[in-house]
Amino acid sequence: MKTLRIATRKSALALWQANFVKQQLLSHHSNLTVELVPMTSRGDQLLDSPLAKVGGKGLFVKELENALLANEADIAVHSMKDVPMEFPEGLCLPVICEREDPRDAFVSNQYTTIEELPEGAVVGTSSLRRQSQLLKLRPDLTIQFLRGNVNTRLAKLDDGQYDAIILAAAGLKRLEFADRISSFISPEQSLPAGGQGAVGIECRTTDEAIIKLIAPLHHAETALCVSAERAMNRRLAGGCQVPIACFAQLSDQQLAMRGLVAEPDGTHFITSQQSQQVSGVDDLQTAEKLGVDLAEDLLNQGAGDILSKLYQ
Ligand SMILES: NCc1[nH]cc(CCC(=O)O)c1CC(=O)O
C-alpha cells in the first residue's frame, strides 16, 4: 500500500506514542512506509484553564478525528485516558496496545514520598482525581493548579513553584524521565484514571485493510481491562475531568476491578470492588458488564450526588 499517515498531537509524549506505533508497524510489515502528521489540538492551545472548564478531554482527540474523517491521515494514536466514550460516526478504535505502568508517580526534588511532605506543602496537579486522593491522605496539603505537557510540568517543579507534583508514571517512563520519579503511588493510595498507561489506535470503520494492518499491535489483555474501565466511565458519564478513578486487572481468568468517585476536597469517597470470571482475554462482554455493575454500585451508594454537583 501507499504511505500510512499517523495523525498525532505535537507534545513530546504524543510524538513518542506515534513513533512507537510507527516502529511497531514497521517491524510487522517490512514494505510499509509510515509518515507522521503532527497537529495542534484545542487541548494543547488552552493550557491555562482546567480541562473540565474548557470542555473536557475530547479536546485532545477531536482535531485528530477530523483529520481521519477528512482523509488527511489514516490512523490516530491516542492515550486511552484522553479518549471519550463515544466515537464519531465512521470512526472506530480497533487496537489497544500493551499497557505501560498504570500508576501515578510522586515527583519531587526534596521529598521521597507523600508521607514525607511537610505540613501544608504545595503539590501541583490539575486532576481532581489526583487532588481528591491526595487530600484524603494528607488534608493539610495545598493543591495548586498545574497543567501543560510532561516536560513543562517538570520545568515548573524545577522552578520551585511546587514542593512536589503528581504525574502518570507511564508518560515519565516513556520520555525517559523515570529517574525523576521519587516514588510510585500505589493504586490503593491513588487509583488511576481509566485507560491510564494504554495507547489506542483509531481509524475509519470502513478501512478494512488498515484495520488488518494494525491488528498485530493489539494487546487483548490490556483491551479487556481498558474495556471494563471505559464501561464504568460511560455508565457514570465520566467524560470530563471528574474525580472518577478505576483500575482493572486480569489474573487467571479473573478480572478484578476497583472504582471510586470522590468529592474533590477528599472528604467523601465512594468506592467499590468487584471481580468476574472471564472465559478468555476476548470476553469483552463480561468485562463491560463488570464495569457497568461497578458503576451501578457506586451510583447506589450515592455517586450521582457528587457527580451532579460537579457537572453544574
Ligand atoms: N491528561 C494528559 C495525559 N494523558 C496521558 C498521560 C500520561 C500517559 C498515559 O496515561 O498513558 C497524561 C499526562 C499525565 O497524566 O501525567
192-233 pLDDT, tens digit each: 999 999 999 999 999 999 999 999 999 999 999 999 999 999
Among the residues of 11-69, which ranges form H helices? 12-28, 42-45, 62-69
Question: Rounded distance, CA 89 to CA 125, Å?
Answer: 34
pLDDT at 56: 57
Q: Specify the pairing of strand 75-79 against strand 34-39.
A: unpaired
Read off the pLDDT of residues 243-293 as tens digits, 9 standing for 90 and up: 999 999 999 999 999 999 999 999 999 999 999 999 999 999 999 999 999
**Domains with residue ranges and CATH for the chain:** 1-98+197-218 (3.40.190.10), 104-185 (3.40.190.10), 219-312 (3.30.160.40)
| pLDDT classification of 241: cutoffs 50, 70, 90 | low
Whether residue 123 contacts residue 130, with contact meaning beta carbons closer than 8 Å, is answered with no
Atom of ligand 1 nearest to the CA of 100: 11
ipTM of the prediction greater than 0.85, yes or no = yes
The CB of 167 under 6 Å from ligand 1? The reply is yes
Cell numbers linked to 258: 476497583
In this structure, the residue with its CA closest to atom 5 of ligand 1 is: 79
| pLDDT classification of 311: cutoffs 50, 70, 90 | confident
The CB of 170 under 6 Å from ligand 1? The reply is yes
Residue 231 CA, ligand 1 centroid: distance in Å: 19
For 76, 242, 267, 294, the CA distances from 261, given in Å and listed in that order, are: 30, 8, 11, 11
User: Has 82 been annotated as catalytic?
Assistant: yes
- What does residue 200 show for φ and ψ, rounded to 5 degrees? -120, 155
Read off the pLDDT of residues 90-121 as tens digits, 9 standing for 90 and up: 999 999 999 999 999 999 999 999 999 999 99
Atom of ligand 1 nearest to the CA of 198: 11
The CB of 196 under 6 Å from ligand 1? The reply is yes
271, HSE (Cβ side, Cα atoms, 13 Å): 14
Question: Rounded distance, CA 23 to CA 54, Å?
Answer: 34
Residue 171 CA, ligand 1 centroid: distance in Å: 6
| pLDDT classification of 46: cutoffs 50, 70, 90 | low
Q: In DSSP terms, which residues pair with 123 in a beta bridge?
A: 143, 164
> Residue 276 corresponds to which amino acid?
Q
Q: What is the pTM of this model?
A: 0.94
Indicate which residue of 48, 74, 82, 252 is catalytic. Answer: 82
Q: In DSSP terms, which residues pair with 76 in a beta bridge?
A: 7, 202
Whether residue 67 contacts residue 37, with contact meaning beta carbons closer than 8 Å, is answered with yes
pLDDT at 2: 79
Candidate of 54, 79, 127 to mutate for ligand 1, largest count of ligand atoms within 8 Å of Cβ: 79
Residue 104 CA, ligand 1 centroid: distance in Å: 9
- Closest C-alpha among 226, 209, 218 to residue 94: 218
pLDDT at 240: 56
Nearby residues of 64 by Cβ (< 8 Å), 6 or more positions away: 7, 8, 9, 39, 41, 73, 76, 78, 202
